[in-house]
Amino acid sequence: MKARLFFAGLVCALLSAGPVLAADDGKRLEDGKYIDKNDEPTYNVKEDGTVDWYTYSGFRRYHSECHVCHGPDGLGSSYAPALLESMKPLGYGEFISVVAVGRERVTASQTSKMPGFGENVNVYCYMDDIYVYLMARADKAIPRGRPRKRDKKPKEATAYENECRDGK
């Protein structure tokens, strides 16, 4: 419970004000992270395929924690569904809720259950990263596999990571 409350505070801190730089495509760079017009984290892929740090980090975190069930690159497995199509209508808040608390679905033919990861520091400290990676995959902004080029890790990412991991 303590971890979930800490996580909720971190989400609020991420959404609070900070230095803002507007990008040409409607995205803005805020505290080292790209934010869309709905104030949600988003990916940034340059013409040469270079991804922002958080998309790259999301690839790494997804493949260390999520792909065991949901398959490589969000494509699904016999154990859990593909995430690329389900990400499109799923809002950022709902994504955070499902990952933090979990979800159970019961139909006449099957029961599926995703456990909550709200107390797993390797997930909750990187939920934005995982979200932007999966959205970039869902939008076909990046291909399968490890991104070949990435931006350097912003100092804000290091500071947030240290604060998040130490707060557990």
Task: Tell me the average pLDDT across 32-41.
Answer: 93
* DSSP element (H, E) containing 20: strand 20-22
Percent over 90 (pLDDT), the chain: 55
pTM of the predicted protein model: 0.81
What pLDDT does 168 receive? 54
Architecture (CATH level 2) of domain 2-166: Orthogonal Bundle (1.10)
Report d(CA 27, CA 34) in Å as an integer. 6
Report d(CA 167, CA 63) in Å as an integer. 24
Report d(CA 74, CA 162) in Å as an integer. 27
Range name among 2-16, 42-56, 85-99, 103-117 with the lowest pLDDT average:
2-16
Report d(CA 104, CA 50) in Å as an integer. 37
Boundaries of every domain in the chain: 2-166
DSSP state of 139: T
**β-strand pairing of 28-30 with 33-35:** antiparallel
Cβ neighbourhood burial of 53 (10 Å; 0-12, 13-18, 19+): buried
Residue length, the chain?
168
What pLDDT does 16 receive? 39
The pLDDT tens digits of the residues spanning 86-127 come to 888 888 999 999 999 998 888 888 777 888 999 999 999 999
| φ and ψ of 73, to 5 deg | 60, 20
The pLDDT tens digits of the residues spanning 137-162 come to 999 999 999 999 999 999 999 999 99
The answer on pLDDT for 42 being more than 90 is yes
The answer on pLDDT for 10 being more than 60 is no
Handedness of CA 164, 165, 166, 167 (dihedral sign): positive
Percent over 70 (pLDDT), the chain: 85
